[in-house]
Structure 1
């Protein structure tokens, strides 16, 4: 984090166990407000576990996580979402059999307050709320250029568009902190370039802080100012993206130790 920059998220000595597996080992990281921060490491290194700790799915058993000064450890996922944190998932988690528009509308659920009276007096009460939600959804559809597929079922659109729909759904929750779990997974080069552009556009337009898990190092070095590298649940490097990736411990974690030639 740059000197003098206000922190958005602070993880202090975060640890998590699953039975005998020590998935996170005292991980600490500070992400500055407005940053695009990368979280990288080999498969099984603890990246998604850290994200699940931040978003409340698997709270830390040791250490603390604070967002904008508020402790998140004891909050449920839906309460954390209301604090201003939204996420996408490594595997596309859209509602099959529903349209792109309906899936994106689901991102507004944290703002919806079902009320029998509102339903009874729909034209005077609930309609205004519905129009407000749809207006926000239309703004996100325009931002991510999804107009052409808005009425298509998500089952039939390409993976790159499905990932964009998932991003749109997360943005409709009006987050200040956005977590992207491998948003480029399974994409070809053209789809990756589109997604990078839309992430940058959303970050700039909405003033987001972004935490991105990604295996594509070209993407990480292109858009992340700083990164944290995990291996076997522990932090092994942190700093500017290109410098951290070149760290000998990081190289060893990815490709193994160089063998001496007899």
Structure 2
């Protein structure tokens, strides 16, 4: 279970000094979700404190993405409750959840080919845009001022994510690692309070993983964003997450600090299988 090499990033910091430990950003209680006869989630409970980097891990098919889709309103739960910063958002539509301060990246890149890096990042501001025929009619009075404000935020994030040199490049012409960085930039320009990252390091080499890990840590520390991350790279999880929950077949099988939770026998068994887990335990002893 322990990777040969961990990314060379700062160790996970404690909760942000701006977020008391008692402040809960996200709370999920008894979440159930079925698809026909398949129970994808079975009474999942979790709490994410403000200022945390919180990891949700588990083998393929364990229900991680389903859980995120319930949290963001794409799937209504069959039972249970989701609260965001104390407000019940259980059956809220996805666009309304976004307006509550939630942004998300996806497991598969969702960038717009044929558009530049700058234009893709600018699209992340849509949640703050209020189109109006009257504003367009009096563009030089109202709409221009709003457009410039959006541009300032975008330029700040482009600098923050170190994308200045490729800002005008077609997004499909840049490497995968940079495309992942563009997607993270697009999420950050929405100025979220709660950021969900679904496998942000999939398909990356070690150097690219280290870059993204650093940007995730900086987003939490410098932009006061609470981060919820799904990730398969256990070296990354143990390096940057404050707390993790491990799912297996829709159930929570471990929770706590990453190193302790991932080392639990039931977690090793879920990832490696019973025989391999027994061999692993014998080797460890």
State the TM bucket, normalised to the shorter chain. Answer: over 0.9
1:196 counterpart (213, 228, 231): 213
The C-alpha deviation readout for 1:75-130, integer Å capped at 9, x for no partner, is 10010000011110000000111111111111110111111121111111100000
Q: Distance in 1 between matches of 2:129 and 2:257?
A: 40
1:71 paired residue number: 88
Shift of 1:5: 2.5
Shift of 1:4: 4.7
2:52 paired residue number: 35
Map 1:1-262 to 2 at 5 A.
4-258=21-275
CA contact (8 A) 1:9 1:31 kept: yes
Q: Distance in 2 between matches of 1:225 and 1:114?
A: 40
CA contact (8 A) 2:21 2:49 kept: no
CA contact (8 A) 2:107 2:200 kept: yes
CA contact (8 A) 1:56 1:80 kept: yes
Q: Distance in 1 between matches of 2:22 and 2:124?
A: 30
Residues 105 and 4 from structure 1, CA distance in 2 versus in 1: closer, same or farther, beyond 3 angstroms?
Answer: closer
- Structure 1 regions of 5+ residues with no counterpart? none
Q: Secondary structure at the match of 2:29?
A: strand
The C-alpha deviation readout for 1:160-214, integer Å capped at 9, x for no partner, is 0110110011111110010000000000001000000111111111111101000
CA contact (8 A) 1:86 1:173 kept: yes
- CA-based RMSD of the aligned residues comes to 1.5
CA contact (8 A) 2:24 2:50 kept: yes
Answer with 108-117 or 128-137: which moved more: 108-117
Q: Distance in 2 between matches of 1:79 and 1:157?
A: 32
TM-score (normalised: structure 1): 0.97
Moved over 4 A (4+): 1-4
Q: Secondary structure at the match of 1:179?
A: strand
Q: Distance in 1 between matches of 2:38 and 2:178?
A: 36
Q: Distance in 2 between matches of 1:116 and 1:124?
A: 13
CA contact (8 A) 1:86 1:177 kept: yes
Q: Distance in 2 between matches of 1:205 and 1:26?
A: 35
